[in-house]
A and B are shown apart, each in its own frame.
Chain A
Amino acid sequence: MASEAIHSGAQTDAHSGTHEEAHHELPARVEPDVITSELVASTDSNSTGVRNWMWILGIVTLVGIGVGFAKLLIEWGDQSEWGYTAAMVAFLFSVFGGAPLVAIAPTLAKANWVRPVARFAALCSLASIVCTIWMIPLILNLPMLVVDGARRRSIWFEGPDVSPHMWALVSMITLITAALGLIYAYALPDFAAMRDHSTGWKQRFGSWMARGWIGTTIQWRTLRLRIGMMGTLYFFTFVFVHFIISTDFAMSLVPGWRDAIFPMYHAISSIQAGLAVTVLGLWAARRYMGMDKYLHLDQFWSIGRLMFAFTLLWGYFFISAFIVYWYGRSGSDKMWIDYLILGPYFWVFILGVLFIWFTPWWWLIWNRVRRSYNGTAIGAGLILFGVFLDRVRLYVAAWAVPEDRIHERFLTEYPSAVFPDVMDLFIMVGALAGCVFVVLAATRVLPILSIWDVQQFNLLYRPVNYMKTKVSLIGKPD
């Protein structure tokens, strides 16, 4: 091993009182055969009571799709009626699309704590499929580039009339391809484990997907490379899709809204939400799927610190955009503040800021909170609610602007607040259920924690005595 890292981790003999509270227990090592058998068994629907949840989520998803189809027939062409669907799609894409970056960045940085986390974070990207399905009614209701004989303002200067519609789909398909590639790259050795130790259709499926994987030197070497490559491609595509979604499905619908920072703001809050959903998923896996042996405080602590950092970054990106409008004082600048901040969604904005930034900031700032399972999970819940409110404020307001005013230089009269109707509620709950369903269904095929990653975590980690304390000794292979 090229280098070693020593992490302080447990209580000292001499100062067991305060240090025991301040530090966490070192993870116990688990034998590889136990890891394989337990994680393979965790894919059994009966073992964890997941089947009932999948039925409920599946039915809610189908009801949501049915209501969405009915809404499409009833409210075809009425753009303002689709604001909450747009907000939900943007929210779900932000949450589940951002999660894989939790796996990608620390993996590329060769962090050891991320190994048990990477699989769940990568699986979240499957929800992009649900988001793409729900984008179809939005694409059908998105105004054409040429409205009433004139080209509306957009990033598509000379493109065909359907450029935003077409490229939104192409970019989402690219993201889904990258997501599937990333998941497959991570999962190939686990398909081999399913082939070797599972039964029935899972064994056959594992055998087919493993493609003859036997764990040779070249196979492991290319595994690391393809995870790196697919991770990088996912990251680049992720940023690009945020650029497309935020500009075409929000900014270009509001006359006078021109904000170069908004796509980055959108992506940053997505990473913040991705961290939050990863924490909640791991918390649920520990509590309800018996994964407490493999998920330790180290994972929650590390993600908690990242969540805190991205919470502060949200404030930075928001104020960077806000300050331009605040000092600009042109008609369009004042419109941005009056409509999107102080206007009909003022209280949504206030609540959004409270939940996405202020409350998580003052919650996650405490070491004791970040060093606890429940504390980080509560912080994650606050952030997710805040991101949802933020997307409602931005997307409902954008879709509420009537199509016949899209050529105005900037809005002078602001549409009144749009509240969700019953169909919106069904669609939002159905879309959320669909994303959770897809991720949960994937954990019936692949273990929620990667077998080979958890084995490698144990391979490279040793709890050792260091002077009068105990520390984690972690080997870094490259």
Chain B
Amino acid sequence: MSKSVLGLYSDPNQAADAMDALKGAGFPLGTFDVLTGTPYPEGAFGEHVPQHRLFRFPAFGAIIGFTLAIFLTAATQIAYPLVTGGKPILSLFAMLVILYEMSMLSAVISTVVGIVIESRLPNVNPGVYDNRITEGLIGVVITTDDDKSDTAIDALNAAGAMEIKQA
């Protein structure tokens, strides 16, 4: 059975010490994290920075939109082959506006979807949390087995936690 333990700190240096203490106690990177109400510079607490794939969503969406737009504009022009101004039936400049707009529309929509997915939202089981984090307190949270939770609590307390919460 796993357990979430949260240590609360008013001083960022203490939170950084708590992260070091958890590492020192043998907890693997990725099992503990820092919770803040404002973004601190990455790595300020020595935390593990996970990778993301957010950039793939707008790229994928734009390719889908662009492909659909090519099909739409080319198919309509071939289906109704009207020569305009002596230009070729498949004129790129006549297609550009629609290619651009459909690429953008698809990229925007897929980015919004990507935002939701890559933010790990909705987070239906956020675990242990404290409302004071959005008031400036810093939380160090670890999810570990029941039998190791005392070790985690000791490490968090050693760094000067003002409060420990468990869930």
- Interface residues in chain A, defined as those with a beta carbon under 8 Å from any beta carbon in chain B: 1-2, 31-33, 36-37, 155, 157-158, 167, 170-171, 174, 177-178, 181, 184-185, 188-189, 192-193, 196-197, 211-226, 229-230, 233, 236-237, 240, 451-452, 455-456, 459, 475, 477-478
B112–A455 CB distance below 8 A: no
A230 touches B39 (CB 8 A): no
CB distance from A266 to the nearest CB of B (A): 16
Of the candidates A155, A174, A451, the one having the most CB atoms from chain B within 10 angstroms of its own CB is A174
Alpha-carbon distance between A157 and B76 when the two chains are bound, in angstroms: 13
Chain A residue contacts of B58, Cβ below 8 A: 229, 233
Q: Does B136 contact A (CB under 8 A)?
A: yes
Given contacts A196-B131, A218-B52, A222-B52, 18 further A-B contacts (CB under 8 A): A31-B136, A32-B135, A33-B136, A185-B115, A216-B33, A217-B34, A217-B49, A217-B50, A218-B49, A218-B120, A220-B40, A222-B54, A229-B111, A233-B107, A240-B100, A452-B38, A459-B38, A475-B41
Q: Determine how close the nearest CB of chain B comes to the CB of A452; give it in whole angstroms.
A: 5
18 residue pairs from A and B, CB less than 8 Å apart: A32-B38, A36-B136, A157-B85, A167-B97, A212-B122, A212-B126, A213-B123, A214-B123, A217-B47, A218-B50, A220-B36, A225-B55, A230-B112, A240-B100, A459-B40, A477-B40, A477-B41, A478-B42
Of chain B, the residue at the smallest CB distance from A457 is B38
Q: Whole-angstrom distance between the alpha carbons of A188 and B120 in the complex?
A: 13
Q: How far is the CB of A145 from chain B (nearest CB, A)?
A: 12
Contact A181 B41 (CB under 8 A): no
Measured CB to CB, the nearest residue on chain B to A237 is B104
A218–B49 Cα distance when bound, in Å, is: 7
Q: Determine how close the nearest CB of chain A comes to the CB of B23; give it in whole angstroms.
A: 15
Given contacts A167-B97, A177-B109, contact A215 B36 (CB under 8 A): yes
Main secondary structure of the interface of A (DSSP, over half): helix
A217 and B33 contacting across the interface, CB-CB below 8 Å = yes
Instruction: State the Cβ distance, B44 to closest chain A Cβ, in Å.
Output: 8
Q: Which residues of B contact A452 (CB under 8 A)?
A: 37-39
Q: Which residue of B42, B52, B100, B136 contacts A455 across the interface (Cβ within 8 Å)?
A: B136
Which residues in B have their C-beta under 8 angstroms from that of A224?
39
CB-CB under 8 A for A170 and B101, given A193-B134, A196-B134, A219-B119: yes
B35 within 8 A of A: yes
Look across to chain A and name the residue whose beta carbon is closest to the beta carbon of B89. A158
List, in ascending order, chain A residues with CB within 8 A of B118's CB: 222, 226
Partner of A220, one of B39, B107, B114, B116: B39
A-contacting residues of B (Cβ < 8 Å)? 33-42, 47-50, 52, 54-55, 58, 76-77, 80, 82, 84-85, 87, 91, 94, 97-98, 100-101, 104-105, 107-109, 111-112, 114-116, 118-127, 129, 131-136, 139
Could you tell me if B134 and A451 are in contact, using CB atoms closer than 8 angstroms? Answer: yes
Contact B41 A158 (CB under 8 A): no
Q: Contact check, B134 vs A211: say whether CB atoms are below 8 A apart.
A: no
Q: Is there contact, CB below 8 Å, between B108 and A181?
A: yes
Q: Which of B33, B39, B98, B134 has the most CB of A within 10 A?
A: B134
The list of the 6 closest CB pairs from A to B, nearest first, reads: A212-B123, A32-B136, A477-B41, A196-B131, A455-B38, A211-B121
Q: A36 touching B37 by the CB < 8 A rule?
A: yes
Q: List chain A residues, Cβ under 8 A from B47.
A: 217
A174-B104, A214-B129, A222-B118 known; A36-B40 Cβ under 8 A: no
**Is the Cβ of B115 less than 8 Å from the Cβ of A181?**
yes
Check A158 against B77 for contact (C-beta < 8 Å).
yes
Q: Which residues of B contact A155 (CB under 8 A)?
A: 97
